[in-house]
Chain A
Amino acid sequence: GAGVSQSPRYKVAKRGQDVALRCDPISGHVSLFWYQQALGQGPEFLTYFQNEAQLDKSGLPSDRFFAERPEGSVSTLKIQRTQQEDSAVYLCASSLDMGRDQPQHFGDGTRLSIL
């Protein structure tokens, strides 16, 4: 079946521009996560949704970062007034059911480069 799909695969933006990154989770998955991965580092948690509710946004680095999942399926991560330090791979993951410790299934990420 289809896995987690992220688009675009690559995004280049100029410093100061706004960007929007899309995540299509596996159908029926309740939980959705966003991670940021810098070069040579492991993924770092940004935020977590259960259905449409954003239950944890403790990892968002600044108020320029905003995530939404309005209908409990597709999610968008928006970065306003991008800075060079925002350059990274942004990964999305989904899992089936919060309470039963289901593993997270990851997309292949969006590589964001800020010039």
Chain B
Amino acid sequence: DAKTTQPPSMDCAEGRAANLPCNHSTISGNEYVYWYRQIHSQGPQYIIHGLKNNETNEMASLIITEDRKSSTLILPHATLRDTAVYYCIVKIRGYQKVTFGTGTKLQVIP
């Protein structure tokens, strides 16, 4: 799987959009970008995934650059409950094994 690079930590004001970047410059054509988050003392929670098109669901939006070498997870209106570690993962299509890195610790500030 391609390696991902994320900033170790970020702050965001409550109610503002949180934009979490991820670099995956060695991504190949058959690899998806997945985002999970882990709230303290809980298991990781799936957020969203995409291949090359931008995606949106009830939790977040995923913006993937045209060259697919980076992506941004957007939480449109961050709340205190969004404080968590966010993991950006690249996974080969149809392949089950997932490799987590150390993620970005997002702190939402009142």
Chains A and B form a bound pair: yes
Q: Is B101 an interface residue (CB 8 A)?
A: yes
A48, B99: Cα distance in complex, Å: 13
Whether A104 pairs with B46 at a CB distance below 8 angstroms is yes
Q: Is A103 an interface residue (CB 8 A)?
A: yes
A99, B42: Cα distance in complex, Å: 27
B21 to chain A, nearest CB (A): 17
Tell me which of A11-19, A37-45, A60-68, A78-86 binds B.
A37-45
Q: Is B13 an interface residue (CB 8 A)?
A: no
Q: How many residue pairs between the two chains, A and B, have CB atoms under 8 Å in the bound complex?
A: 54
Among candidates B41, B44, B85, B94, residue contacting A101 with C-beta atoms closer than 8 Å: B94
Which 4 pairs show the lowest CB-CB distances between chains A and B?
Answer: A106-B43, A42-B100, A103-B46, A106-B44
Chain A residue contacts of B98, Cβ below 8 A = 33, 45, 104
Whether B43 pairs with A109 at a CB distance below 8 angstroms is yes
A56, B99: Cα distance in complex, Å: 14
16 additional contacts, CB 8 Å, given A31-B96, A33-B98, A91-B44? A4-B43, A41-B102, A42-B87, A42-B101, A43-B100, A45-B98, A55-B96, A56-B96, A56-B97, A95-B96, A101-B49, A101-B93, A103-B34, A105-B46, A106-B43, A107-B43
Among candidates B32, B43, B101, residue contacting A91 with C-beta atoms closer than 8 Å: B43
Among candidates B32, B91, B97, B103, residue contacting A42 with C-beta atoms closer than 8 Å: B103
We find that the number of chain A residues with CB closer than 8 angstroms to chain B is 28
Q: Is A98 an interface residue (CB 8 A)?
A: yes
A96, B101: Cα distance in complex, Å: 24
Among candidates A44, A101, A104, A106, residue contacting B32 with C-beta atoms closer than 8 Å: A101
A40, B38: Cα distance in complex, Å: 12
Of the listed residues B43, B85, B87, B97, the one surrounded by the most CB atoms of chain A closer than 10 A to its CB is B43
